[in-house]
Structure 1
Amino acid sequence: MIKFSEYFNEWLYGNDGYYATYKQIGKDGDFFTSVSTSSFFGGAIAKKIIQTIESGFLPKNTTILEIGAHHGYLLADVIQFIYTLKPELLDTLNFSIVERFPKLQEKQKEYIKESFGDIIKLKHYDHLSEVKLDNAFVLANEIFDAFSCELVYTNDKNILQQAFVENHKIKFIDCVDEKIINHCKKYQITKGEMGIGYEEFINTLCKNIKSFEFLTFDYGDRYPRNDFSTRVYEKHEVYPIFEEDLDLKKLYKKSDITYDVHFNHLRDCFKNNNIDNIVFNTQLKALVEFGIIELLEILKANVNESSYLRQTQKVKTLLEPTGMGDRFKILNVKRS
């Protein structure tokens, strides 16, 4: 019998885990992301990066560091839009990716080379602990929902219980882990998930990069909703972890598993590193503030109407208040 966090971690990152080999994202994969929806997602981030540099917060020779780049589509979109909006920056900017899996590193190198030839020099780090930079713009799209988590539940005797897994069956046992107990008390969690590894990740980030702007997008909200959000994605079907008759053994390592991110937990990890310049927002508001509408206006002036309308429809999907626009949240953090 193992803790649910160990089961979750092995599911995604074991030797034959779901993320250990390349997976398609989009209509041919198990799920959609904002990156697979429209290149203007990366375009808006590129515009934000340019604004950060032009404001003087980061220098022109800063590093754009992506963590969890998968195929490299997002970084490529960012580079393409920087080329369109401020091409001279490509002469000074540095581009890096943190990626633990060698096979994915190769995919990323191939895609960036296919897209830009030898113009872009891409540096890889196997782990965040290897990164040592004076400054960086750090981009992390949908990574925290792939950090392992513990499942907790307060029973009818008001006793906090923790999930364990045996033979792909989830069982709850009285929790004796003081860290989990204290975390649940602090955030008033009676039922749901506790993300594992957020503190270590953010502490390492803050230790290894002196000055940075950090931007992350993910499913979730500020406050825990006190319900289980852990779910499995397979070929665009969604299965709640406690759905009746769900066959975890069949889905194990062959599908994606995720949960809603608790953004106040993330925020507090940065605050514990004496950082207070932290903005929480919806994806809708963030992308509009970054300038995605202005990018569409530039497109309108340079392409035919059908191309413009096609891309506008994709951007609407990113911004839809009842869909991605509100369901995804962002945390934008600055340390100077």
Structure 2
Amino acid sequence: MVPFSEYMNEWLYGPKGYYAAFKAIGKEGDFYTAVSTSRFFGATIAHYLISLIRKGRLSPKATLAEVGAHQGYLLGDMIEWIAHEAPELLETMRFAVVERHEPLRRLQRDYFHDRFGVAVEIVHYADPRQIGADELFLVANEIFDAFPCDLVFNGKTALVDTKGEHTIRFEGEDGQVLEVAKRYGQTKGEMARGYEAFAASVAEAARKIVFVTFDYGEKEVRNDFSIRIYKGHEVFPLFEEGLDLKALFQKSDITYDVNFSHVIDAFEEAGFSTHAYKTQLRALTEYGLPRLLEELARRGDQRLYLRELNKIKTLIDPTMMGERFKLVEFHRNIG
């Protein structure tokens, strides 16, 4: 019997884990993300980054990096918008990806080469600490829901029989997990592992840091299980009757709603200030999405405008991603 966090870590990140190799996102994959929905997601974040540079909050020599980049679409969309709105920054900025897995690194190198040729250089790092920049704008999309978690229920933690049928039993007594659960008033649900260590590593990535991240969840604990499995665009609650975990192990995505209070506490303990916490709808609006749409409309291609507008509705519609997904923006040493 192993703790559920070890089981989930092996499920997602083991040598044969789900994320150890490239997984398609979108129609051919197991799930959708904001990045796969519209290029205007990355363009809007890049527009916000440019505004910070023009206001003097960051310098033109800042590093733009993504962690959890998957194939690299988000960073690619951001670089493309920078080339459109402020091409001079391509001469001064550095671009990087934080990625541990070499197969994904190779995929990202190929993607960036196909998209930008030799015009843009992407540097890879295995850990944020290795970036070593003076100023850093770090972006991440849906990474905190993929941190391994433990499960708690009525004062016990979950253990998994990995040598049998992957049965889950609440028989563990992990004091550290239960103490964190008590801190947030959680008697039933998921307790993420690794937020504190990750926040500490980001804090050492640069002297000045803006970290922007999007994910789904709430600040308030629901005291219920949100953990679920995605396979071929179908969603299966982890505790669904008859679910064959052994068959799904490492062959599907497994995720849960983020406790943003836990994320915020981890980063504030690492020396960051929480600059913003808001819905994706509000964040993208304030970052300048309406202005980008106006510019697209002025180009005169009505068909392109309507196509992109329909895609963007998914990002900001309150019944879809708009309210369920949240932005958290952290600052460190930003005046």
Q: The TM-score by the shorter chain falls in which range?
A: over 0.9
> In structure 1, what is the Cα distance between the partners aligned to 2:69 and 2:271?
28
The two structures have a TM-score, normalised by structure 2, of 0.96
Q: Is the 8 A contact 1:30 1:235 kept in 2?
A: yes
Equivalent residue, structure 2, for 1:111? 111
Q: Is the 8 A contact 2:271 2:332 kept in 1?
A: no
Shift of 1:129: 3.5
Equivalent residue, structure 2, for 1:217? 214
Equivalent residue, structure 2, for 1:8? 8
Equivalent residue, structure 1, for 2:330? 333
Shift of 1:276: 2.7
Mapped pair 1:181 → 2:178: yes
Q: Is the 8 A contact 1:277 1:335 kept in 2?
A: no
User: Which ranges of structure 2 fall in alignment gaps of 5 or more residues?
Assistant: none
Which one of 233, 236, 239 corresponds to residue 236 of structure 1?
A: 233
Mapped pair 1:162 → 2:157: yes
Shift of 1:130: 2.3
Shift of 1:184: 1.3
Equivalent residue, structure 1, for 2:42? 42
Aligned-partner residue type, residue 168 of structure 2: I
Which one of 302, 318, 322 corresponds to residue 319 of structure 2?
A: 322
> In structure 1, what is the Cα distance between the partners aligned to 2:129 and 2:194?
13
Counterpart secondary structure, 1:189 = coil
Equivalent residue, structure 1, for 2:261? 264
> In structure 2, what is the Cα distance between the partners aligned to 1:293 and 1:90?
24
Mapped pair 1:278 → 2:275: yes
> In structure 2, what is the Cα distance between the partners aligned to 1:136 and 1:309?
35
User: Which ranges of structure 1 fall in alignment gaps of 5 or more residues?
Assistant: 155-159
Query: Runs of at least 4 residues of structure 1 off by over 4 A?
Result: none
* C-alpha distance 273-126 of structure 1, shift in aligned 2 (>3 A): closer
Mapped pair 1:311 → 2:311: no
Counterpart secondary structure, 1:56 = coil
> In structure 1, what is the Cα distance between the partners aligned to 2:175 and 2:190?
16
Counterpart secondary structure, 2:19 = helix
* C-alpha distance 114-303 of structure 1, shift in aligned 2 (>3 A): farther
Equivalent residue, structure 2, for 1:32? 32
Counterpart secondary structure, 1:19 = coil
Q: Is the 8 A contact 1:267 1:278 kept in 2?
A: no
Length, aligned pairs only: 330
Q: Deviations over 1:274-325 (max 9, x none)?
A: 3334311110100000011110110011141111101000001100101101
Cα root mean square deviation, aligned: 1.0
Q: Is the 8 A contact 2:314 2:320 kept in 1?
A: yes
Q: Deviations over 1:65-99 (max 9, x none)?
A: 10010001111100111111111111111000000
Q: Deviations over 1:249-281 (max 9, x none)?
A: 111100100111111111111221233343111
Equivalent residue, structure 1, for 2:91? 91
Aligned-partner residue type, residue 3 of structure 1: P
Shift of 1:181: 2.0
Counterpart secondary structure, 1:18 = coil
Shift of 1:174: 4.7
Shift of 1:224: 1.6
> In structure 1, what is the Cα distance between the partners aligned to 2:323 and 2:274?
22
Q: Deviations over 1:73-130 (max 9, x none)?
A: 1111001111111111111110000001111101111111111111101100122242
Equivalent residue, structure 2, for 1:157? none
Q: Is the 8 A contact 1:162 1:173 kept in 2?
A: yes
Q: Deviations over 1:7-66 (max 9, x none)?
A: 000000111110111110001100000000000000110111101111111110100010
> In structure 2, what is the Cα distance between the partners aligned to 1:262 and 1:292?
27
